[in-house]
């Protein structure tokens, strides 16, 4: 599969509002909320990034952590709480945790990059995409190869998908094999650098960019918040950036004529 096979990737550069723009000043302590996504959309963002978990009674939630503790005024594992219990929690003391369905309805023109964070979320994510006919509006991802493979089996090729961490590693260390491997993933989503065995190594390389592009796929880098790094990545030929500082990335892309 190639990125060009999906209308999802029709922008000249993909600017992803990571959790709505988690450290954009109006969104401080309000990540992954309708408030945060509203701010990103108001700036003109078309691509919104979020994660999904399932409540104990099978409600799909747009939330990063597996626990409420870090960002809400409640505690507990999402997988062990009912939606009624979770709905009482407030992110940053202000905002309820949105259901993915709420976001799909609230932003009908937006495209979503969605990371399945738990096994229980996989079937719910596939059924939600189907229920809202959001096939062209979603790119699915997961660090877990098993979750990603199941999502692909459930959704087929109608929905774009990113490579798992294992897939990124294959492409990074054997870029010459990228076209031969030709997995269903049409995007590699990864950090610029990564710690391995106590050492810092560069994930993004010119050879990787060239190999991925020859295979008709895209490279998206997370999570980048400073303008200097953003500019370097654009010059390196990446196709998209995930950012918490949605204002900074917009300004850089406007300067480069890549903002749409």
The alpha-helical segments, DSSP class H, found in 10-112 are: 34-43, 83-86, 100-106
CA distance 11 to 193: 25
Secondary structure (3-state) at 62: strand
pLDDT of residue 173: 56
Is 213 part of the annotated catalytic residue set?
no
Average pLDDT for residues 139-166, to the nearest whole number?
Answer: 93
Q: What is the pTM of this model?
A: 0.94
Q: What is the pLDDT of residues 168-202, one digit of tens each?
A: 765 655 555 555 455 789 999 999 877 665 667 77
Rg of the chain, C-alpha, whole Å: 18
Q: Model confidence at 260, in pLDDT bands (50, 70, 90)?
A: confident
**Which residues, other chains included, contact 224 with Cβ-Cβ below 8 Å and sequence gap of 6+?**
192, 230, 233, 241, 242, 243, 249
Closest CA to 17 of 249, 173, 194, 174: 249
- Count of helix runs (H) and strand runs (E) in the chain: 10, 11
Distance between CA atoms of residues 51 and 91, nearest Å: 15
The predicted-structure confidence for 204-230, as pLDDT tens digits, reads as follows: 999 899 989 999 999 999 999 999 999
Which string of DSSP letters, residue by residue, matches 97-118? PPBHHHHHHH-TT-EEEEEE-S
DSSP state of 80: G
Q: Residue 25 corresponds to which tokens in the numbers above?
A: 């000043």
Give me the mean pLDDT over the 28-37 stretch.
Answer: 98
Mean pLDDT over 83-90 rounds to 98
**Mean pLDDT, residues 24-52:** 98
**Mean pLDDT, the chain, whole residue set:** 93
Tell me the CATH number of domain 3-255, given options 3.20.20.190, 2.160.10.10, 3.20.20.70, 3.20.20.140.
3.20.20.190
**Average pLDDT for residues 101-110, to the nearest whole number?**
98
State residue 176's pLDDT score: 57
Q: What pLDDT score does 114 carry?
A: 98
Of 18, 94, 213, 220, the catalytic one is 18
Catalytic residue among 29, 35, 53, 64: 64
Residue 194 falls in the annotated catalytic set? no
**Does the pLDDT of residue 16 top 70, yes or no?**
yes
Residues 6+ apart with CB under 8 A from 34: 95, 98, 102, 103, 106
Rounded average pLDDT over 57-61: 98
Name the 3-class secondary structure at 219. strand
Give the mean pLDDT of 90-112: 98
């Amino acid at each position: 599969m190639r990125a060009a096979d999906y209308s999802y990737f029709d922008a000249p550069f993909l600017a992803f509002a990571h959790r709505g723009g988690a450290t954009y000043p109006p969104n401080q302590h309000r990540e992954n909320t309708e408030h945060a996504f509203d701010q990103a959309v108001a700036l003109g963002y078309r691509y919104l990034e979020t994660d999904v978990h399932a409540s104990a009674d099978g409600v799909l939630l747009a939330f990063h952590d597996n626990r409420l503790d870090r960002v809400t005024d409640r505690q507990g594992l999402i997988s062990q709480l009912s939606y009624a219990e979770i709905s009482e929690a407030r992110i940053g003391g202000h905002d309820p945790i949105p259901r993915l369905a709420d976001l799909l309805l609230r932003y009908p023109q937006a495209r979503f990059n969605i990371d399945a964070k738990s096994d229980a979320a996989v079937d719910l994510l596939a059924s939600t995409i189907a229920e809202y006919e959001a096939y062209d509006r979603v790119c699915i991802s997961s660090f877990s190869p098993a979750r990603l493979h199941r999502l692909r089996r459930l959704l087929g090729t109608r929905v774009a998908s990113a490579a798992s961490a294992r897939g990124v590693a294959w492409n990074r260390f054997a870029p010459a094999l990228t076209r031969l491997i030709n997995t269903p993933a049409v995007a590699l989503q990864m950090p610029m650098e990564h710690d391995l065995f106590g050492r810092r190594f560069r994930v993004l390389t010119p050879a990787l960019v060239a190999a991925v592009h020859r295979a008709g796929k895209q490279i998206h880098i997370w999570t980048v918040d400073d303008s200097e790094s953003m500019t370097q990545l654009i010059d390196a030929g990446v196709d998209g950036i995930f950012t918490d500082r949605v204002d900074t990335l917009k300004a850089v892309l406007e300067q480069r004529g890549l903002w749409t």
